[in-house]
Each structure stands twice: as structure tokens, then as C-alpha cells.
Chain A
Amino acid sequence: MPDATRPPPRRPRRLHPVAVRVMHWINALAILMLLFSGLKIYDDYPILNGLYFAEAITLGGHPETALQWHFFAMWILGVNGLVYLAYGLVTGRFRRKLLPVDPREVVATVRDALRLHLGHDDIRHYNGVQKLLYLGVIAIVVLQVATGLAIWKPVQFSEFAALFGSFQTARILHFAGLGAIAGFLVVHVALALLVPKTLVAMVTGGPLEDPADRALAPSAPPATR
């Protein structure tokens, strides 16, 4: 029950609460396992003529081992991802941090970035490009799980798999998703290294949240001891 007269929590939260940090790094591990084993699985029957991935950048060594890694990591991503989505929605973190996306701000941020001006004084506030990238990668990972289910169980889940057309369409979409996630990772890691305090924050928790922002939270959980 919202109560305007309630005093602010005694210990304000950090930018990244410990739950977010733990889920972020579990997610990172699962996605890397899926990505590198996925390249090996791809190599067995390439979609793009002549595009193979060198064994050194793949996980598993053999297709059968790569498949074992893939179908091991899918559980980590699936369970961790569901908890992460539930957490982001229930605590209001997604709404607070990622919405609204202002198109004018996105254009302005891209323009600044192209002029090699990376303004990031207050890492607690995501700029338009960040919001768009984070929302985008969440959507792509959800879609990736969906196409993954469609190619894992095209018969048992045939009604669901039909949403993607044929088996090959779902397979191509699943590979395109791999490309999109890899592309996100390149940008995400590069920017984290360019603004190292963002990387540190995902380990230590980062600066304390602005109480004014907390008040905007639609369903901020009551402070517990």
C-alpha cells in the first residue's frame, strides 16, 4: 500500500542490488556457453555458404559435446531468465530504469557518441540508447528461447513451432538471434570498458540510488532488515 508519509528506507538501495548483480553474471555465463556451443552446432550444417567458425572460438570440440553444453546452459538461462524477468517486473525496476524511451534522446546520444563524446556522468540514469539496447536484448533473448523451443520440439510443440513457419525458418531465426546477441555483447562490453565505473558497479553495486527515483517506483518493496 503506497504511503506518502512513510519515511524513506533507512538503507537506500544501490544502483544494482545484489540480486541483479548475481542474475546478471549468471546470465552472462549462460549466454556465453550457449553462444560458443551454438557456433559449433552451426558448423555442422552451416546456414550461410562458406561461413564456418574456427574450432578455437567454439565450445565443445565435437558437435555432440557442443550440444551437451547447449542443452545444459539452456536450463541456466531459462531458470535465471524467468527469475530476472519476474524480478524486473515485480519490483518495477524495468519500468523505472528502462522506460520511457525518448526517441529524440536516442538520436542525440548517437550523434554525441559519433562525435566521440560519451557523456556518462551519472551512471544511475540510462540514456536513450542504453534503454533501447537493454530492452532490445531482453526481447531478443526471449525470442531466442522461443525459436530454440521451436527447433528443439517441432513435433511436441508443433502448434507453437508453427508460429515461426517451417523448421528451417525457426532455425535461421535462431541463428539470426545468435548474431544479434553477439552484436549486443560487442557494443555492451566495449562501452562497459570505455566507462569502467559501469563495470565496477555491476560487481560492487555502484552508487546509491536517488531517493527521488525510488519514490517513482510503482511498487517498491518495503524496506526489510
Chain B
Amino acid sequence: MTIQRLGSIFRRPTPIGQAVFDDNRKLVASIDRRGLLRGSLSLGSLVMLTGCDVGHEGSVQSALRAVSEFNDAVQAALFRPDHLAPTYALDQVAHPPRYNAFYGIGDVRPVAASTWKLELAGRIGNKTPWTVAQMYDLPETELIAKHICVEGWDYVGHWKGVSLRLFLERIGADTKARYLAFKCADDYTGSIDMATALHPQTILATRYGDDPIGDPFGFPLRLRTATKLGYKNPKWITAIEVTNTKPGGYWEDRGFNWFGGI
């Protein structure tokens, strides 16, 4: 059973049609910026910023972003490539997994297995797209680990799928490149660093327990890494790119920390 909670950032309702957004993208962006400004003028920040020019919202924001990027570098330095996240017993696993996305579970558009393809791009030797059957035929790695959301909740999930390291080797990816970028069927985007991609507990999950992943949880393919927060685990993946140019992501572009390591 999935509990839908109002006001959650990962289930932000979208009552306005997407076309309206597209037509008024600039206006919407400027309103959002004003919203940020209003937010930064709350009591707490007024107390804090006495003496500063609170009107210069842009400089405060860019300073905070700069520190967030510094924190990316700190987290990359703290990352232990061979250190394993705690794992759990089968009876601690949640069934089904917890639903989360940037929209409600009712708006999930299932991906058709027959037409789905995994596209490959960037620094990869063999960019032939993969079908569902091919993905589900790959050797499986099992991962019983915690999914920790940046909001604060967590659950133990039981995921199976090909080790991302093995998959990258299989497709002839340049594992000396710095980043992996993901595109998803629901237009979600995400990216991770290569060190995390090569970690033994990072898999391209195809199953939850013994069954194929359910539609709301990312069928047919999602990323599960035990070393990052939930939003760094894109679902309904349709494309993977290996690149040296730092990619953003749906939540990262909105200000959530890029590295998102745990």
C-alpha cells in the first residue's frame, strides 16, 4: 500500500497543463525566482542577514550553490569505492517498495515492454540499443539495501539486476570518463559520478524480489545505488550517456545537492 502525502516535494502536484507551462516558461521561471526571494526573506533569514543587502537574492543563491558544489567535491573525496552499505535480511524488506516520483502514483504512465529500448550515447564503444529481453537476460546481482530519501524517510528494498560496472564493461564504456547521465520515460533526468557507477552496490535493477519491477517503481529499468539518496536513482530509464561534461538532473537543477551521497 502506498500512502500519498500532500505537500511532499517528491509528489508535487501539477494541476496546470504542461502546454501552459511550455507557452509561459519565462514567466513561470521569473515567478519562481520571486518565490525564492520571498522565501529567503522569512524571519530566520532577516535575523541572519542584518547588514547584508537582502535584495541581492541572486548573490546569496549563487553563494549557496557554490558551497553545495564544494560539498560535492568533499563527498567525492569521502567516497569509499570498496566500502559496502549495510545490507538487510529478507524479512526486513518492504513489499511493495515505496512509491515516489515528482508526481502522484495515479499519473504514472506505464512503459510498454515491446517498444521500450535502452539507448546508449557518449563515450561508449557499442551503442546498439538494448531490448527488455536482453536486459532481463544479463547476469543478476542482488541488493538488499536501504533507500533513503532526502525528505527523511527510508525503507529496505530487495533489488536485482545487472551490476552497472559489468554492464559498462559489456558495452565498452569509457570507465575513465567522469559522469553517467540518465534519461527517463517520464522526462525525469539524473546523473551520477563514475566512482559511484562502478561501486559493487550499484545496479541497473530489473526485478524487485523475484518479480519484474512494477510499473509505478520503474519498469522495465531503474538505477539502484546503495550509496546515494533516492533522487539519484532514476526510474523508467530510456537512455544512458557516458560523458566528461557534468550533467544536471531534475532535482539537482532545482537546487538539490548534485552528489547526493549517503
Q: Is the CB of A65 within 8 A of B262?
A: no
Question: What's the Cα separation between A29 and B146 when bound, in Å?
Answer: 35
Within 8 A of A (CB), among B204-260: 226-227, 251, 254-257
B85:A158 contact, CB within 8 angstroms: yes
Taking a contact as CB atoms under 8 Å apart, the answer to whether B262 and A59 are in contact is: no
Q: Chain A CB within 10 Å — which of B43, B44, B65, B151 has the most?
A: B44
Q: Mark A49-75, 1 if CB is under 8 A from B, else 0.
A: 000000111111111110111011001
Interface residues on chain B, number (Cβ under 8 Å) = 43
A69 touches B64 (CB 8 A): yes
The one of B47, B85, B262 that contacts A32, using a Cβ cutoff of 8 Å = B47
Q: Which of B16-24, B31-39, B105-113, B121-129 contacts A (4 or more CB under 8 A)?
A: B31-39
**Measured between C-beta atoms, what is the minimum distance from B123 to chain A in Å?**
27
Q: How far is the CA of A69 from the CA of B48 in the complex (A)?
A: 11
State which size class the interface on A falls in.
Answer: 35 or more
Contact of B48 among A33, A42, A71 (CB under 8 A): A33
Residue contact B64 to A68, C-beta cutoff 8 Å: yes
Determine the distance from Cα of A75 to Cα of B68 in the docked complex, in whole angstroms: 11
Contact B71 A71 (CB under 8 A): yes
Residue A37 interfacial (CB < 8 Å) = yes
Report the Cα distance A29→B61, complex, angstroms: 18
With known contacts A60-B39, A155-B262, A36–B44 Cβ distance under 8 A: yes
Which residues of B have CB within 8 Å of A62?
9, 35-36, 39, 254-255
The answer on a CB contact under 8 Å between B35 and A68 is no
Q: For the complex, would chain A's binding face be called helix, strand, loop or mixed by DSSP majority?
A: helix
Are A45 and B262 touching (Cβ within 8 A)?
no
- A133-183 at interface with B (beta carbon < 8 Å): 152-156, 158, 162, 167-168, 171
Q: Say yes or no: A65-B153 contact (C-beta < 8 A), given A58-B44, A155-B226.
A: no
Say yes or no: is B56 at the interface (Cβ < 8 Å to chain A). no
A158 to B251, CA, bound (A): 26
B15 within 8 A of A: no
| Inter-subunit contact B83/A167 (CB<8 Å) | no
Given the interface pairs A64-B256, A167-B146, the reply to whether A156 lies near B78 with Cβ below 8 Å is yes
Inter-chain contacts of A44 with B (CB < 8 A): 8-9, 150-152
Task: Please judge, given known A-B contacts A45-B152, A45-B153, A72-B67, whether A61 and B39 are in contact too, CB under 8 Å.
Answer: yes
Closest to B63 in A: A72
Q: Which residue of A lies closest to B32 (CB)?
A: A62
Given the known A-B contacts A158-B85, A158-B86, are A68 and B39 also in contact in the complex, defined by CB atoms under 8 Å? Answer: no
Closest to B66 in A: A72
Structural contact, B48 and A65, CB atoms closer than 8 A = no
A155 in contact with B227 (CB, 8 Å): yes
21 interchain pairs (CB within 8 A)? A44-B9, A44-B150, A45-B153, A55-B42, A56-B43, A57-B43, A60-B39, A60-B42, A62-B254, A63-B150, A63-B151, A65-B64, A67-B150, A68-B65, A71-B68, A154-B262, A156-B79, A156-B80, A156-B261, A162-B86, A167-B148
Listed from nearest, the 10 A-B pairs whose CB atoms lie closest are A61-B39, A36-B44, A59-B44, A64-B255, A45-B152, A68-B64, A45-B151, A155-B85, A72-B67, A44-B151
